[in-house]
């Protein structure tokens, strides 16, 4: 285990951040596709990017509350009714 820890410690924070984003996007995409959604990983990545809107951007902040309902509607449209 020490070998893996040393490799981890040698990775740059930027690389680890990019790896984390990639894992979140791909796992979210896989999970929603199992349920029948047709959202692509690129659409999920865009949604994740929008969810991380900085507090100083007032115009973007006004759009942020609209994103979640939009995504939920998109998923609801894609998932077959049970």
pLDDT for 6-59, tens place per residue? 877 888 888 888 888 888 888 888 887 887 878 888 888 887 777 665 666 666
Block residue for tokens 């759009």: 63
pTM score, whole prediction = 0.55
Three-class SS state of 38: coil
How far, in Å, CA of 50 to CA of 46, rounded?
6
């Amino acid at each position: 285990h020490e070998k893996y820890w040393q490799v981890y410690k040698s990775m740059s924070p930027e690389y680890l951040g990019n790896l984390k984003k990639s894992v979140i996007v791909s796992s979210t995409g896989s999970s929603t596709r199992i349920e029948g959604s047709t959202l692509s990983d690129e659409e999920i990545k865009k949604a994740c990017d929008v969810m991380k809107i900085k507090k100083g951007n007032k115009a973007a902040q006004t759009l942020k509350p609209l994103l979640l309902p939009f995504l939920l509607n998109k998923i609801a449209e894609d998932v077959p009714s049970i």
